[in-house]
Structure 1
Amino acid sequence: MATIQVSNVTFAYDGSYDNVFENISFQLDTGWKLGFTGRNGRGKTTFLNLLLGKYKYEGQIKADVSFEYFPYVVQHPEYLTMDVIEEIYPDAVQWQINREFQLLQLSEDVLYRPFHTLSNGEQTKVLLAALFLKENSFLLIDEPTNHLDINARAQVSEYLHNKQGYILVSHDRSFLDSCVDHILSINKTNIEIQKGNFSDWWLNKERQDQYERNENERLKKDIKRLAEASKRTSNWSDEVEKTKNGVRNSGSKVDKGYIGHKSAKMMKRSKSLEQRQFEALEERTGLLKNVETADKLKIAQVPYHKQQLVALDHISIQYDEQAVCSDISFTIEKGDRISLTGANGSGKSSLIKLILGEDIPYDGQLYIGSQLNISYVSQDTSDLQGNLTDYAKAHDIDESLFKAILRKLDFSRVQFEKDMASYSGGQKKKVLIAKSLSEQVHLHIWDEPLNFIDVISRMQIEELLLEYEPTILFVEHDREFCNRIATKAVQL
């Protein structure tokens, strides 16, 4: 297999005074199924763009292969799907397309429908099929699971499991585990590669982090003990030295040679202790550089005066005489954490809009508690722009709490000064979640909140929801998250 050699690469965006990468070096095998992980804003998509030659950088990237990036930009979504595939790969052969469609569990009739009429899941599968038609390229697959429901994720995961020669950016732990054999991780101070799936990498990371914490505590104690011993020995040496010009009680003169030798010996021991202390300090500076901070989050949710907040009784929704969902009944009570599940297009977002009070045509009975305050996290982050201070004022939330939550979600203080429009997809989602956690509300409704959000932040959010037990209705396709968080599941 060919290799990709990255040597001493340094990169910063124009006008930025902080480097995204600094002197990074590693080697990749083009036969690997490589999972690419790291906290939001660390530069995963940037690195893929460096491979694609989109930016100038210092250092060298040598590769004996061409690169293809997913997702493709579809120039003409109104075209038939077959024509969209041919635009991406003009040499596509029908039997090859049919083979990839079969592996992705796509029906052949999709080829003869306008691309824009396909569901998000179908569009993703079509573009992946087009990607893997290019068999002699190394594939850069950036967040393919966003907006895929759980069943579609399982199908795409199985598809990728049987392929090779790609870098896959994803924050879905179950998804990564099932389809990668190496992990490329962007840490706080370096980039490293390990063999195995995500769970293997995470277990190794936890062990290494715990070892470094233990070593750090041991060295702290050693440094303190050595400093005290060095000080005592130095004091003794000074006291002995003072006796050189003295007279013994017997009246005889002191042995200056002996005392000088004893003083020098103590001083030498003191210097030795100082050197050991310095070495311990040096060793300690090499620790904890890649230990991720994941402080506990807090939530501002307030209790509601009734047990029941929302009730849906035989609700049906239709647009232009076409049913979206029908005969849906469930209640939201204090402390419920409800996972709203179902295939794309089954009506999840429509039900959420109905509960939020939007003008949605429906049949059945809907009860919304009086003076019920709801916080909503949307799938869409495209309207985020401007600075965080103005954003907090516009939404009447505590700016200090809002920014404190973002700091715990790995925002640097430099990010606070930037325009939100320049944030990564994951950072924008964190802004919406931090806003929601800062609001004084009775119910949280989150629609696919984890899209683009890194694994460590997902774990922080999980721990928050388990500790504070807020009332929440959410749509999320991360199987691990749903299994840990949901107290109820509503299947559409």
Structure 2
Amino acid sequence: MSIINVTDLTFAYDGSYDNIFEAVSFQIDTDWKLGFTGRNGRGKTTFLNLLLGKFEYRGRISSKTAFEYFPFEVKNMDSNTIDVIEEICPDYVHWEVMRELSLLEVSDDVLYRPFNTLSNGEQTKVLLAAMFLKEDSFLLIDEPTNHLDMNARKMVSDYLRSKRGFILVSHDRAFLDNCVDHILSINKTNIEVQKGNFSTWLQNKEMQDGFELAENEKLKKDISRLTMAARRTSDWSDKVEKTKLGTTNSGSDIDRGYVGHKAAKMMKRSKSLENRQQTAIEEKSKLLRNIENSEKLKLSQLELHTDRLAELSAIAVYYGEKRAAGEVSFCIDKGDRIALSGRNGSGKSSIIKLICGENLTYTGTLRRASQLKISYVSQDTSHLNGSLSGYALENNLDESLFKAILRKLDFSRIQFEKDMSDYSGGQKKKVLIARSLCEKAHLHIWDEPLNFIDVISRMQIEELLLEYSPTILFVEHDLAFRKNIATKIVEL
């Protein structure tokens, strides 16, 4: 066990006027299994890079442990898997490799296959196994779940639960709940550490936010009441003070000493009220600093002349001689929220592309309603570059609405000026989601829309889909999202 101390950490990228971190201090134990959470663009990967010593910063990070970053960059993807493992951990022991792969249910024949022939899930498992062979290292695991199917996520999560000593960046709630014992969260104004899993942290945050909102309302009323009382007392003091210059109604002289004492007493009361008001204002300023903006999103689908939008009967999709998906039958009716499920490689994306109208080779029967309009969100974000304004114009989007949706998804205004190629993975996915929410369609089809997207935004999207009940077909390996949203599950 050792302690990682972070003291007064301040960091900004060269050329930026805004600090990513400012005077941040906390400490963590290297035996902890930490889930690292925070909204997209807050600096999770940046902080991992600071631990790795990649950037200069102000403040202090002290630790006696060595840090290792996942995913490891494999320089030669054509190498056999055993050679990749040796590159990561030169002094590995073969039986230990076999033990780790067995825990992850990876067959030992992958060791003698080229690494690039392994599936995404197999590559993730092999790299994790190899990195945990390195003794006395603290692993910085950056979003290992992207592109893993649900079975692979459960297996990797169980594997991590058996380990100790890592920081895990993930936005999958069920994945985090299963394998972490502490949460490291990047909030709007600080970084904090809490014991427990993600659900515990979220419950505590909601309770704290609720308390602060109630306290804020109470202080607003107190400030208003104290302001009015201080103003009235000050006015009374002025009036009493002015009577020192006159006479009473009966013509007798005024006791100016008594009047002056009364005026001073009232002025003192007015000052006391003003001090109480200032204290209330200072207390109010300490509240709401970390409450996340998660305004409700909106969506309106077009009405179609029929309740049945599409029907697939015994569909099989082919790429040359290879069958990518086979014997798939289901219907898409108005109001359905259908989760397309299956292991990686089972043909989910092929089925989606076929419904969207791509010219694929297939057998079976596909019927689509006439004049059906589909809004499609792809897995791929590599094509995003240039300005948001140019993207809105190119896709015939209402630019104001498009940017308003991105603001609700926690885009700062400064992001609007950047080239999209510089966005984080989560921010790029939000661009595709925002575009889809702007489009008028009868059917929304989303292929792994939540990869890289932060938890708060995931919950916003959940609320949207539950409130407006659009017709949607989606592929998503986030178990909590699928459980909350899907009205039907089609298993491939």
Q: Distance in 1 between matches of 2:68 and 2:205?
A: 30
Alpha-carbon offset, residue 300 of structure 1: 3.7
Query: Deviation per CA, 1:28-84, whole angstroms, max 9, x where unpaired?
Result: 111110010000000000000011111111121111011110011111112221122
Question: If the length of structure 1 is used for normalisation, what is the TM-score?
Answer: 0.99
Q: Distance in 2 between matches of 1:195 and 1:105?
A: 30
Q: What letter is aligned with 1:410? A: D
Q: Distance in 2 between matches of 1:11 and 1:209?
A: 27
Q: Distance in 2 between matches of 1:361 and 1:328?
A: 14
The equivalent residue for 1:203 is 203
The equivalent residue for 1:83 is 83
The equivalent residue for 2:268 is 268
Alpha-carbon offset, residue 252 of structure 1: 2.0
The equivalent residue for 1:33 is 33
The equivalent residue for 1:358 is 358
Q: Distance in 2 between matches of 1:284 and 1:290?
A: 13
Question: Match of 2:244, SS?
Answer: helix
The equivalent residue for 2:296 is 296
Q: Distance in 2 between matches of 1:75 and 1:369?
A: 48
Question: Match of 1:245, SS?
Answer: coil
Q: What letter is aligned with 2:303? A: P
Q: Distance in 1 between matches of 2:358 and 2:113?
A: 31
Name the stretch that deviates more: 201-210 or 51-60: 51-60
Q: What letter is aligned with 1:380? A: D
Q: What letter is aligned with 1:417? A: E
**1:334 equivalent in alignment to 2:341:** no
The equivalent residue for 1:387 is 387
The equivalent residue for 1:179 is 179
Q: Distance in 2 between matches of 1:76 and 1:309?
A: 47
For structure 2, the residue ranges without an aligned partner over 5 or more in a row are none
Alpha-carbon offset, residue 189 of structure 1: 0.5
Q: Equivalences for 1:55-74 in 2 at 5 Å? A: 55-74=55-74
Query: Deviation per CA, 1:217-252, whole angstroms, max 9, x where unpaired?
Result: 000000000011111111111111111122223332
- Percent of aligned pairs sharing the same letter: 69
The equivalent residue for 1:410 is 410
Name the stretch that deviates more: 78-87 or 101-110: 78-87
Query: Deviation per CA, 1:128-147, whole angstroms, max 9, x where unpaired?
Result: 11111112100000001101
The equivalent residue for 1:443 is 443
Q: Distance in 2 between matches of 1:163 and 1:194?
A: 19
**1:430 equivalent in alignment to 2:430:** yes
Alpha-carbon offset, residue 365 of structure 1: 0.3
The equivalent residue for 2:189 is 189
Q: Equivalences for 1:86-165 in 2 at 5 Å? A: 86-165=86-165
Alpha-carbon offset, residue 474 of structure 1: 0.3
**1:5 equivalent in alignment to 2:19:** no
Name the stretch that deviates more: 342-351 or 17-26: 17-26
Q: Distance in 1 between matches of 2:343 and 2:214?
A: 47
Q: Distance in 2 between matches of 1:161 and 1:395?
A: 44
Q: Distance in 1 between matches of 2:350 and 2:93?
A: 39
CA contact (8 A) 2:297 2:461 kept: yes
Query: Deviation per CA, 1:281-328, whole angstroms, max 9, x where unpaired?
Result: 111011000000100001142122211111100011233323322211
The equivalent residue for 1:54 is 54
Question: Match of 1:35, SS?
Answer: strand
**1:471 equivalent in alignment to 2:468:** no
The equivalent residue for 1:253 is 253
Q: Distance in 2 between matches of 1:107 and 1:60?
A: 44
Q: Distance in 2 between matches of 1:302 and 1:278?
A: 53
Alpha-carbon offset, residue 152 of structure 1: 0.7
Q: Distance in 2 between matches of 1:123 and 1:442?
A: 38
CA contact (8 A) 1:69 1:140 kept: yes
CA contact (8 A) 1:11 1:19 kept: yes
Question: Match of 1:444, SS?
Answer: strand
Alpha-carbon offset, residue 420 of structure 1: 0.7
Q: Distance in 2 between matches of 1:92 and 1:318?
A: 42
CA contact (8 A) 1:12 1:19 kept: yes
Question: Match of 1:226, SS?
Answer: helix
Query: Deviation per CA, 1:96-133, whole angstroms, max 9, x where unpaired?
Result: 11000011111111212221121111111111111111
Q: What letter is aligned with 1:445? A: I
The equivalent residue for 1:18 is 18
CA contact (8 A) 1:338 1:486 kept: yes
Q: Equivalences for 1:204-223 in 2 at 5 Å? A: 204-223=204-223
Question: Match of 2:206, SS?
Answer: helix
Question: If the length of structure 2 is used for normalisation, what is the TM-score?
Answer: 0.99
The two structures, once aligned, show a CA RMSD in angstroms of 1.0
Alpha-carbon offset, residue 338 of structure 1: 0.4
Q: What letter is aligned with 1:47? A: F
**1:344 equivalent in alignment to 2:344:** yes
Q: Distance in 1 between matches of 2:101 and 2:12?
A: 40
CA contact (8 A) 2:300 2:468 kept: no
Name the stretch that deviates more: 8-17 or 472-481: 8-17
Name the stretch that deviates more: 375-384 or 181-190: 375-384
Q: Distance in 2 between matches of 1:363 and 1:3?
A: 60
Q: Distance in 1 between matches of 2:228 and 2:36?
A: 47
Q: What letter is aligned with 2:266? A: M
CA contact (8 A) 2:141 2:168 kept: yes
Q: Distance in 1 between matches of 2:486 and 2:153?
A: 19
Question: Match of 1:323, SS?
Answer: strand
The equivalent residue for 2:398 is 398
Q: Distance in 2 between matches of 1:2 and 1:150?
A: 34
Q: Distance in 1 between matches of 2:324 and 2:250?
A: 109
Q: Distance in 1 between matches of 2:21 and 2:13?
A: 10
Q: Distance in 1 between matches of 2:484 and 2:234?
A: 58
Q: Distance in 2 between matches of 1:356 and 1:53?
A: 46
Alpha-carbon offset, residue 86 of structure 1: 1.4
CA contact (8 A) 1:301 1:437 kept: no
Name the stretch that deviates more: 416-425 or 112-121: 112-121
Q: Distance in 1 between matches of 2:44 and 2:317?
A: 40
Q: Distance in 1 between matches of 2:112 and 2:354?
A: 34
**1:280 equivalent in alignment to 2:297:** no
